[in-house]
């Protein structure tokens, strides 16, 4: 369970203190240190190098906390011991080592002996992070931003997703996720910007030469990075390896039963957190041969969950790769049902789980209550489906074929009091289901088109076109590709209209005051005429030409309050607007500018 004691201690105070230190450093640096120290890079290691900014300074013994986490987790002595070993190793100069694999910056954390004890994944080095050290991912983000990442996942929350998966695993007592918590660490081997290294060196110089100023610093060295620290498990290999091995050398009956139980727990965890990246390469199997342990075979399963906790309902064609394994065709065992059903049937347990997850996600500075509520809507729906599947003794394959549900927690005003209630279920089509899709929500003359995924996109487009043709007063689209396309179309129309009007007016003014500049007013008139032609021949035929994007905050808040639309994420609101006056005005301007140009041409001839 993640409570207040599980969050970094005094995180907000540390941030305030560090901001104050940065201000002092900047002022002193300008006065005493005009040139900042040079920072060198090498191609073999893209991380900037410093000689003694962290962990190795003799002049700042009080700053031994410059490379540690300042986190404590009362009641979890094993994890605290691991964290303390990591801190002591960093202070002794045994720094975390970057992992070459993966799409983000992750590091093997070691103890003083050099043994790997954990894996640290900083927030700002995730695939979306600005300090991601992986060049291929950086190039993909810069060159192909439209094909980068998963639109269903909130940005830079991979570290929270891993900690959340560990929390769910602990609450359900599944024991398939290595213990993971959110901590703060600092080490020179992490990927820092030049500014961070320069500030660290400047603080060090100030501390050495001006101790009266330096003693006001809260800490020296590089800034701590927030991220997830996962306990390292040894003896495990990718599932691909062992699954192929088990085909060649079948397990004993006892080992098969043990593996099936572990597999079912993995399925339950994946389904609840709606893992979007569960391939055979990111769940691990540990196999101990019968010759090694009392004549019995042992099989254990661990997994990685950085791409879980989706923003809203995720409908990929094949979200769970384990669904094609033969183990997925076996019904859930009685042992698994006895372990899980009593918990997920209890509404108080589900609410407590959501509250614990909220405490965890609130530690992030970019926490958005609306996005989090979307995530919990998915989680509650997944738990409901899982509960039904376990009651009916279904198999994991049958579980993923069930239509996903979203259970939304809405608010309604009763006698000026707000109370929460469970709302009706909103079903969406799954890749293996034959459900008909729900129609967009309508509130009087307001049409709401929910977020669309894959096969639902054509349906959403058809609903949008229908709403546009019927000229509904308001069309609300969640912020997806479809909404961006509508905004883009409206922006193009507005640009063509304004260009035609402004350049047409400029043509008339220039002809009146600067008649001897035919090249200037001719070019401007041509631009106005082309814009007008594009507007009338192309964009005016688009149904979006009758709509504008509503930006009036007061109107939006009133609409949200009256129609209970608070759960929508970054919606785009299209407002119907009769464009006949605008078209008439544009045509008058263009006709007037044309008349001036024709008259001027006759005079010149």
pLDDT, position 303: 62
Q: What angle do CA 423, 442, 489 make, to 5 degrees?
A: 120
Task: Supply angle C-alpha 554, 555, 561, rounded to 5.
Answer: 90
User: Can you read off the two tokens belonging to residue 579?
Assistant: 């464009």
Handedness of CA 510, 512, 514, 519 (dihedral sign): positive
What distance in Å separates the CA atoms of residue 78 and residue 90, rounded to the nearest whole number? Answer: 19
**pLDDT, average across residues 376-395:** 91
pTM of the prediction?
0.58
Percent of the chain whose pLDDT exceeds 70 = 69
pLDDT at residue 84 in the model: 92
Q: With contact defined as beta carbons under 8 Å apart, do 174 and 269 qualify?
A: yes
Question: When comparing pLDDT for 169 and 72, which is higher?
Answer: 169
Instruction: Return the percentage of the chain with pLDDT > 90, whole number.
Output: 25
pLDDT for res 13: 58
What pLDDT is recorded for position 458? 59
Q: Could you tell me the pLDDT band of residue 281, with boundaries at 50, 70 and 90?
A: low
136, β-bridge pairs: none
E-strand ranges in 84-179 read 97-98, 107-110, 116-122
User: Which residue(s) pair with 548 in the sheet?
Assistant: 575
Kindly report, residue by residue over 141-155, the tens digit of the pLDDT.
666 655 555 555 666
* Least confident stretch, 137-146, 308-317, 341-350, 463-472: 308-317
Q: Which pLDDT score is estimated for 465?
A: 75
258 touches 298 (CB < 8 A): yes
Residue 273 predicted with pLDDT over 80: yes
d(CA 116, CA 97): 9
Distance separating alpha carbons of residues 558 and 565, to the nearest angstrom:
10
Q: Can you state the angle between helices 580-604 and 481-513, rounded to 10 degrees?
A: 40
Q: Residue 23: what pLDDT?
A: 60
Which of 589, 496, 493, 497 lies closest to 548 in space, CA to CA?
Answer: 493
Residue 152 and residue 311 in contact, taking contact as beta carbons nearer than 8 Å: yes
Give the chain's count of helices (H) and strands (E): 17, 15
Residue 579: count of CB within 10 angstroms of its CB:
16
CB 117 within 8 A of CB 81: no
Greater pLDDT, 389 or 321 = 389
Cα separation, 54 vs 555, in Å, equals 53
- Of the pLDDT bands very low, low, confident and very high (cuts 50, 70, 90), residue 202 is confident
| 61: confidence class by pLDDT, cuts 50, 70, 90 | very low
Check: CB of residue 70 under 8 Å from CB of residue 90: no
Determine the straight-line distance between the first and last CA of the chain, rounded to whole angstroms: 87
pLDDT at 459: 62
Q: What was the pLDDT predicted at 478? A: 67
CB atoms within 10 A of CB 561: 11
Query: What is the overall mean pLDDT for the chain?
Result: 75
SS3 at position 275? coil
Q: Given pLDDT bands bounded at 50, 70 and 90, which one contains residue 85? A: very high
Select from 436, 501, 515, 447 the least CA-distant residue to 477.
447
Rounded CA Rg of the chain: 30
Host H or E run for residue 425: strand 417-427
Of residues 450 and 25, more confidence is placed in 450
Give, for 8, the enclosing helix (H) or strand (E).
none
Structure-derived torsion over alpha carbons of residues 495, 500, 506, 508, reported in degrees to the nearest 10: -170
DSSP, collapsed to helix, strand or coil, labels residue 208 as: helix
Q: Per-residue pLDDT tens for 103-115?
A: 788 999 999 999 9
Confidence at residue 454, expressed as pLDDT on a 0 to 100 scale: 39
* Lowest-confidence pick of 327-331, 338-342, 381-385, 515-519: 515-519
The model's pLDDT over 295-319, given as tens digits with 9 standing for 90+, comes to: 455 566 656 544 444 434 443 444 6
Whether 186 and 66 have beta carbons less than 8 Å apart is answered as yes
Q: Per-residue pLDDT tens for 438-447?
A: 333 434 477 7
Which residue ranges make up each domain of the chain? 4-231, 237-427, 446-604
Q: Give 14-44 pLDDT, tens digit per residue.
A: 556 556 655 654 554 444 444 434 333 333 3
Examine the pLDDT at 411 and tell me if it is beyond 70: no
Name which of 197, 193, 183 is nearest 86 in CA terms: 183
Q: Which has more confidence, 372 or 89?
A: 89
């Amino acid at each position: 369970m993640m409570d207040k004691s599980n969050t970094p201690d005094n995180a907000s105070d540390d941030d305030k203190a560090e901001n104050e230190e940065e201000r002092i450093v900047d002022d002193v640096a300008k006065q005493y240190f005009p040139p900042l120290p040079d920072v060198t890079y090498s191609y073999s290691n893209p991380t900037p190098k410093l000689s003694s900014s962290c962990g190795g300074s003799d002049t700042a013994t009080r700053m031994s906390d410059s490379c540690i986490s300042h986190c404590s987790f009362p009641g979890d002595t094993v994890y605290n011991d691991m964290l303390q070993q990591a801190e002591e190793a960093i202070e002794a100069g045994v720094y975390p080592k970057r992992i070459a694999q993966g799409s983000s910056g992750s590091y093997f954390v070691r103890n003083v002996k050099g043994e790997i004890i954990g894996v640290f994944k900083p927030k700002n080095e995730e695939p979306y992070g600005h300090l991601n050290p992986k060049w291929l991912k950086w190039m993909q983000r810069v060159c192909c931003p439209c094909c980068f990442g998963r639109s269903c996942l909130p940005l830079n929350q991979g570290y929270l997703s891993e900690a959340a998966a560990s929390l769910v695993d602990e609450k359900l007592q599944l024991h398939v996720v290595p213990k993971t918590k959110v901590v703060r660490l600092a080490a020179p081997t992490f990927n820092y910007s030049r500014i961070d290294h320069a500030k660290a060196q400047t603080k060090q110089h100030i501390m050495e030469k001006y101790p009266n100023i330096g003693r006001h610093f809260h800490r020296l060295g590089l800034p701590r990075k927030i991220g997830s620290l996962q306990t390292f498990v040894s003896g495990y290999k990718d599932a691909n390896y062992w699954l192929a091995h088990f085909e060649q050398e079948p397990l004993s009956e006892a080992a098969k039963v043990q593996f099936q139980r572990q597999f079912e727990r993995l399925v339950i965890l994946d389904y609840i957190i709606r893992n979007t990246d569960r391939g055979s390469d990111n769940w691990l199997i540990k196999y101990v041969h019968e010759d090694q342990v009392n004549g019995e075979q042992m099989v254990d399963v661990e997994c990685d969950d950085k791409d879980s906790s989706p923003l809203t309902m995720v409908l990929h064609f094949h979200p769970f790769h384990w669904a094609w394994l033969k183990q997925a065709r076996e019904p859930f065992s009685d042992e698994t049902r006895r372990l899980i059903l009593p918990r997920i049937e209890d509404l108080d347990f589900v609410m407590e789980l959501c509250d614990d997850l909220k405490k965890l996600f609130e530690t992030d500075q970019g926490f958005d209550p609306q996005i989090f509520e979307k995530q919990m809507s998915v989680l509650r729906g997944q738990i409901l489906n899982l509960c039904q599947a376990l009651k009916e003794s279904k198999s994991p394959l049958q579980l993923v074929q069930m239509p996903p549900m979203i259970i939304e927690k809405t608010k309604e005003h009763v006698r000026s009091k707000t109370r929460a209630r469970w709302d009706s279920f909103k079903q969406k089509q799954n890749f293996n289901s034959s459900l008909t899709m729900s129609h967009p929500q309508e509130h009087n003359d307001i049409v709401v088109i929910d977020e669309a995924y894959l096969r639902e996109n054509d349906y959403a487009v058809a609903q949008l076109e229908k709403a546009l043709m019927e000229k509904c007063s308001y069309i609300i689209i969640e912020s997806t590709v479809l909404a961006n396309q509508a905004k883009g179309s409206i922006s193009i129309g507005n640009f063509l209209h304004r260009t035609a009007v402004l350049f047409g007016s400029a043509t008339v003014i220039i002809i009146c005051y600067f008649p001897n500049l035919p090249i200037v007013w001719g070019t401007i008139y041509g631009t106005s005429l082309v814009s007008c032609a594009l507007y009338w021949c192309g964009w005016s035929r688009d149904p979006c030409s009758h709509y504008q994007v509503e930006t009036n905050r007061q109107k939006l808040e009133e609409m949200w309050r009256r129609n209970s639309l608070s759960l929508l994420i970054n919606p785009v609101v299209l407002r119907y607007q009769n464009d006949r006056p605008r078209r008439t005005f544009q045509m008058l301007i263009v006709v007037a500018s044309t008349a001036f140009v024709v008259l001027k041409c006759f005079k010149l001839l």
